[in-house]
Amino acid sequence: MRVAVVGATGLVGGTMLRILEERKFPVSELLPVASERSAGSKVSFAGKEYTVLTADEAIAQKPALALFSAGGGPSLKLAPLFAEAGCRVIDNSSAWRMDPTKKLIVPEVNGASLTQEDFIISNPNCSTIQMVMMLRPLQLRWGIRRVVVSTYQSVTGTGQKAVHQLLNERAGNDTLGVYPYPIDLNLIPQIDVFGDNDTTKEELKMMQESGKILGDDQILISATCVRVPVMGGHSESLNVELKQAFEIEEVKAALAAMPGVIVQDNPTVAEYPMPLKCAGRDEVFVGRIRRDLSQANTLNCWVVADNLRKGAATNAVQIAEWLLEKGWLPATLKMNT
């Protein structure tokens, strides 16, 4: 199976390559794709070196699958071209997420909604993925009325330039990079640009995408997204109001039974999720699970995941695995154009 990775030289693209290899996805031929500026450079995969191609060169070779992590603009332009060539596209940008004709997929939550006709499939925002993984079992058992979430997001979510800015600051170089302020020893309560009502685009993504994935746009969600000087993953503090009364032990049992979720919650020995311990893992970790003493039918919890893996690359590969299991890879149906 020919597999293209579009954006192969970036942080998420490089992680996609590692996860394809780790999970032994059946890649017979890799087509790494990047901008014309990077074309001709080399990437490593499964013990071999591959030459980075342009998108046109990759499309000409008719891959069966393309994993995209190249930004919204390139995705809007290139994803339809790959799909028209009979290639299934899994896109990590925000380009297609709220398009009503495209599926927004977290396999453990709504993978069953995929059909053979889906040729452009959207990968959700990193912070949204880990949140809905935790919310899904609560939704199925008790129903969800409202969620208030505050995020503590790693610089890796911005990309390699942000990592370089953090490391340069720690080395004593105060030159600013992608952030308008220093990030080391600091928190920046802005991720992406401000929009209506002074809500950032990142906050809006969490509020809009979650309802689409969970299949319930009546769930009220309020988000505050903050960039922190961390490289291991994203953390989230959630306050969740349920529709029915619950017992905390039942909540913990429901979360522990959710595929892809690990409960780390033992206050007596200071056990709870931290990005330092979750880096390099594909699961979503949940802890600090406790009743909100100020309001009925409401709980608090702490959710951590590696944003480059489950928050991006791993989720995309899991979607590809779902398609493979259904027998839809290589593509068996040409998209209507």
CB count within 10 Å of CB 64 equals 22
**Beta strands 88-91 and 29-33, pairing class:** unpaired
pLDDT over threshold 60, residue 333: no
- Yes or no: say if 203 and 189 are a contact pair by the CB < 8 Å rule: no
Percent with pLDDT over 90 in the chain: 94
**Beta strands 2-6 and 65-68, pairing class:** parallel
Instruction: Please give the residue that has the higher pLDDT: either 10 or 36.
Output: 10
Question: CA distances (Å), 138 to each of 211, 230, 258, in order?
Answer: 14, 29, 10
Task: Verify whether residue 164 is a known catalytic residue.
Answer: no
Residue tagged active-site, from 87, 225, 234, 301: 234
Which domains occur in the chain, in start order? 2-95+312-325 (3.40.50.720), 127-306 (3.30.360.10)
pLDDT at 40: 87
Q: What is the mean pLDDT of the chain?
A: 95
Q: Considering only CA atoms, which of 89, 143, 86 is closest in space to residue 114?
A: 89
**pTM for the whole structure:** 0.95
End-to-end CA distance of the chain: 23
Residue tagged active-site, from 126, 225, 278, 301: 126
Instruction: Please give the residue that has the higher pLDDT: either 235 or 174.
Output: 235
Q: Considering only CA atoms, which of 206, 209, 199, 159 is closest in space to residue 183?
A: 159
